[in-house]
Amino acid sequence: MNNTTENLHDQGSEDIRVENNILKLKMMAEFGAEFGGCNEIPPELEQAFLQRVLAFETQHATGKRVPIYEFLGKPDFVKESDLGDEAIMIELERIQHLMMEQGVELSTCADYEDRVIYRFITEELFLHEMDDTRIPGMVNSFIYEEFHPNHKHDINQRALEFLGSWFKKSFTEINWELADPFILADGRVLPRKTGVEKIQKAHETYLRFDDCRYFIADISFEINQEAETGLGFAAGGVKYQAMMKDGSLKEIEGPFKLYLSWECGWWSIFYFVFPGFEWEAD
């Protein structure tokens, strides 16, 4: 590339940066957008992103909300009660394909029977309203559990996240499976930061954990629907080898129990009993 070509390319990039700044000013003035982050993004890529966001915001501001059934073009469908199990599978695949063609996606965090999901789509999701906004390449995603929380699955996930972080010795303040604050058995209330520091201090005793095994034997919960809060626990057992700083191995084995609270649609662990860890007094 000669100097003339390089100069033309640099000038073109600078022109695009100026256009991008104008787009940002427009979005800040009209939609209250805020910008930050890295300046190393190629100006052409940034412009494509800004144009897509601007198109979305413009449609969102001037658009209306419609039932998903209407957004999809009011497709024909058969009542769930009129379909056999094999037909349900075929119809569910057809409806989901049609939804994806129109930029609507339903995902699940756990596995469910085809009949359950088909009934949900045709009897509930179709009635749910969404923005009548269409941007090429944009997908409107919905999650089944946001409509029908699966508390057992969520508690199991928090337990697996806790176990993974324990065996990897990777707890930090951003471990969102941990509540803020912790509430201990003796009544102490600890900020998550303090609780995490206690875990990290305990982990400093060990170089690493090997041959880690676990099982979850019991999950239980109670939900206060009126207050939209709940309490739950996950119980099981662990067995692992801890390598000490002097190179010796320590076999650790025993039951564990994780106590959780449900607030704002999220389960988090506010107290736990775990082999190899003790809540030390302040």
Percent of the chain with pLDDT over 70: 86
> 261, 262, 239: which is closest to 166 by C-alpha?
239
Task: Give the end-to-end CA distance of the chain in Å, rounded to a whole number.
Answer: 67
Q: What's the rounded Cα separation, in Å, for the pair 261 and 221?
A: 9
> 108, 92, 88, 95: which is closest to 69 by C-alpha?
95
**pLDDT at residue 86, as a whole number:** 95
The tokens describing 129, both together, are: 């309203």
Reported as a single tens digit per residue, the pLDDT across 40-78 is 678 787 777 776 766 666 665 666 889 999 999 999 999
**Confidence check: pLDDT of 17 > 90:** no
Higher-confidence position of 199 and 59: 199
Average pLDDT, the chain: 89
The whole model's pTM is what?
A: 0.74
**pLDDT at residue 97, as a whole number:** 97
User: The domain at 151-273 falls in which architecture?
Assistant: Roll (3.10)
Residues 231-247 have a mean pLDDT of 95
**pLDDT at residue 63, as a whole number:** 65
Residue found under tokens 């928090």: 158
Residue found under tokens 């809540």: 279
Show the beta-strand stretches assigned E in the chain. 65-67, 104-107, 129-131, 140-143, 182-183, 189-190, 206-224, 229-244, 249-263, 266-273
